[in-house]
Structure 1
Amino acid sequence: MQLGDSRTGKLADNIAGFGRALRRAGVRMDSARIALAQDAAQLVGVDERFDFGAALESVMVSREQDRDIFRELFDVYFRNPDIAAKLLAQMLPSAEARAEPTKRRPRVSEALLPQKAFGQKDRKQEEEKIDLDAAMTASDANVLRHADFNALSSKEYALVERLAREVALPIPMIASRRTRPGVRGASLHWGNTLRHAARTGGELMELRKLTQREEDLPLLVLVDVSGSMERYARLLLAFLHAATRTHKRRNVFAFGTHLTDLSHAFRIADTDAMLAAASAAIDDFAGGTRLGESLATLRQTHERKLVGRRTLVLIISDGLDTGEPAGLDSELQWLGRHSRKLLWLNPLLRFDGYAPLAQGAAVLHRHADAMIAVHNLSKLEDLAARLVDVMKAGRRP
């Protein structure tokens, strides 16, 4: 069937509108992909719904995690039951659906909301503050606390990101090698003892002691910024920045296809400004994951960031590494020898019965002292207690 030029007319308009809806749902989209989608529609036609959808998906989706969003939004956007006949004439996204309403992802539902004209502002939205106030019921707050970060709509995500900044994360203190005068201790403070004896005619009436100082546990954080971690990385960076603001000994790195030092960005006091600086510094965001190569860079360039065997290392990743398992195994062995504890914060623990079966995940699980869930606010609130429990387990042999 000859369709004519799909780059003009209602078909082109609806494909462009569908592309804008995908962009609102968080799928990467630009005018070049929309133009390719129009060319693909002209090549395959619209007689077969499956072929039409597959053609659009092949040029409009570049990340695996966006496929489910695309397919659900495609089914809703082009939901006319007589698609083979009516798409040629109208194919309007506003056509009434005959199917029963189904449960949609929040990002899909939000993408289908009517959009205001550019520059038009809603007075209520201008006055609205993203905050947890009395308007939110206890039930609403509880739902957000247990909602997976990847399932949130953009408004919910912004709210949860703000709430995450209020979650405390007290890092355990450790005994320093330095000492100070105290009432208890294993060593004598001979200077204070002799000065006190001089006041009593040379009699040793009291033995003054030295006690160890307490200091912040050195913290090294490695955050996975690959495509599969995109929805978690920004929120967890904001959480860590706010929760460890007073921590004096923290070093933060992002890794995707290579390692990026974010320690300078984390020195910025404002969390939003930190996120902007981190975004500018990371040039492999939403790419692949090569933890082994990133750890090799850490060993070669930033080895002095690991303070003896006293550093607590947090690796935030889903473990879907694309590098060589042997290289990752070797680098994790090195990291384990130079750290106090190695903890794997894994958002995939949101799935019941999850097991680290992927090659990279299996290697990481074998070397980690513990695997901890960080996929919602509730798990972030529990993180401090989990850290204390792991630290009490003693040092790695």
Structure 2
Amino acid sequence: MSAIPFNIAASDGAARTGDLVFPRGAIRTPAFMPVGTAATVKALYADQVRATGADIVLGNVYHLMLRPGAERVARLGGLHTFMGWPRPILTDSGGFQVMSLSALRKLDRDGVTFRSHIDGSTHRLTPERSVEIQRLLGADVTMQLDECVRLPASREEIERAMLLSVDWAERSKAAFGAPQGRALFGIVQGGDVADLRKVSACKLVDIGFDGYAVGGLAVGEPQETMLAMLDETVPALPWDRPRYLMGVGSPDDILKSVARGIDMFDCVMPTRAGRHGQAFTRFGKINLKNARHADDPRPLDEASDCPALRDYSRAYLHHLVKAGEILGMMLLSWANIAYYQHLMYGARAAIAAGSFADYAASAQEGWARGDI
């Protein structure tokens, strides 16, 4: 039994809604976690993020171990105090960034040695060190270190990385111990090979974790492949533990994954799009760079309770984007995080009402309009 309660209040098909309860607060599921990679959700204040309805944010071991350093954050009171976020934080183990950002890396059975993308300094990350860093940061949800393989890849390469990740999962659990009020999630790997996904899931369940993540997707493969892997993986995971799809994604990806039983999501998409002049709304994605918005006095969504969506005209936002003003990036990032949280609020309500399929179909009608 996990020390972290996960209460499933209602289900609608495979979709379910509930909450994951930590001493710092409950995470209402399905949940979208804004990405605060380097101890900040880019272009937003922590209280703005909370006001959108977010219950949890994500930080990253790779970036924080390099700058400012986990030991320094611990001396300063931990990540919650450091970034002014009193609610739960999930920390990604750093494995994906080591594989994707490091200029030089050498992988072996014990861990990975890599060169910093910041200053070229050499570092060593093992399952035990990753867990230690996350403890120093004060993470509420710790992720095991894993190896994420770029797709496409051969079956042999995918299987090798999956089995190594399972070995690292066992070591991560041993290093984590049994702290009160904190959770450890295992990460299912297996690329785009269905039977390897099932093997990975079953091995992780045998080890036993507080929650289970599905990793190694949303890395450029078609949506159909991602959904097919979920169809194979989710049934092998325990019903009574949370399921987290890492790095996903678009609103369409999220709702199709909720329909398959996923509870938690994270993605840089809403803030990255905001910094590049794009807004996510219930009417579709709006490209504020387009000249058609230059004389439009309407807000992005007059019915929203988020000031960024409700109180600023499209003409003004277009002006800020074209002028390269920082405020434009801030407002659109705020608007996008608010929209994602509204999407999840609606999903939770629809599951509780038994109308999730209708809710998802209605949302998709808006997105079908494409960029406007």
> What range describes the TM-score normalised by the shorter chain of this pair?
under 0.3
Normalised by the size of structure 1, how large is the TM-score?
0.26
More strand by share: 2
As a proportion of its length, which structure holds more helix?
1
